[in-house]
Amino acid sequence: MSVRVLLADDEELVRFGLRTVLEAGGLTVVGEAGDGAEAVAMAGRLRPDVVLMDVRMPRVDGLAATRTILSRPDPPRVAVLTTFHTDQYVVAALEAGASGFLLKDTPPRQILAAVRAVAEGAEMLSPAVTRRLLQDYLRGRGGTRRADALRRLAALTDSERQVLALVGRGLTNAEAARAAHMSEGTVKTYVYRVLTKLDLANRTQAAILAHEAGLIDD
């Protein structure tokens, strides 16, 4: 089945470019929203598999729209679009449960691969970009949440903490398995346990918590 995508961006040219890329790759664009309020309404009506959500939009911004969409029963997956260097709200969107982010200058082939991955339940965690984004954001917060993060991690076993650290570095299950000398199935089990014990929605939220706890070297 074709992946059904809703585009949410206030720039018509950006939406046109994304539609062109996605449809050329065999995906179906079911609608285009010009602001967050419209995105919320269209997500409920059209039931897309994935919403590509810009952050800075009029009326209702992408962050608020993401929270609303993901608070509803059986929501679509949400991937945030960002210019990265200027948009610090993207981490808050990830914390709200978004499945990751795309830079607006991402090559078309990578956009297609990312949207397909999100539709299949994966998170878009590019190690280099994720690490830089999280470090920039957390540097401004200092250690204000370090103690709270460490208290939450006390519920984990040593192996679960090890896998959490690897997730925080942006590694896939296969890469984490090689790094930890475990089977991929074992890593998947530990990831599931970590998300369950810590009440996290996805690997992206786990990566943020790993950084907040200091498990990742800057």
Amino acid at 74: D
Is residue 90 very low, low, confident or very high in pLDDT (cuts 50, 70, 90)? low
d(CA 21, CA 178): 34
Domains of the chain: 4-124 (3.40.50.2300), 143-212 (1.10.10.10)
Dihedral angle at the C-alpha atoms of 185, 96, 156, 177, nearest 10 degrees?
Answer: 30
DSSP, residue by residue, 115-139 = HHHHHTT--B--HHHHHHHHHHHHH
Q: Pick 185 or 120 by higher pLDDT.
A: 185
For 147, half-sphere exposure in the C-beta direction (CA atoms, 13 angstrom radius) is: 1
- Give the model confidence (pLDDT) of 148-165 as tens digits: 888 899 999 999 999 999
Lowest mean pLDDT among 28-37, 59-68, 76-85: 76-85
